[in-house]
Amino acid sequence: MKALIVIFLFVIVVFLAAALVSLMRDKGRSDRMLTLLRLRVALSAALLAFIWFGYYMGWIHPHRY
pLDDT digits (tens, 9 = 90+) for 4-61: 999 999 999 999 999 999 988 987 778 888 999 999 999 999 999 999 999 999 888 8
pLDDT, position 2: 84
Would you say residue 62 lies in a domain?
no
In a domain, 65, yes or no: no
Q: Is the pLDDT of residue 64 over 90?
A: no
Task: Give the per-residue pLDDT at 21.
Answer: 92
Looking at residue 29, what is its pLDDT? 79
Looking at the domain assignment, is residue 25 inside a domain? yes
Sign of CA dihedral 57, 48, 22, 20: negative
- Rounded to 10 degrees, what is the CA torsion of 51, 15, 19, 40? -20
Is residue 6 a part of any domain in this protein? yes
pLDDT attached to residue 31: 86
Q: What is the pLDDT of residue 57?
A: 92
Within a domain: residue 43?
A: yes
Provide the number of structural domains found in the chain. Answer: 1
User: Domain for residue 39, yes or no?
Assistant: yes
Q: Domain of residue 9: give its range.
A: 2-57
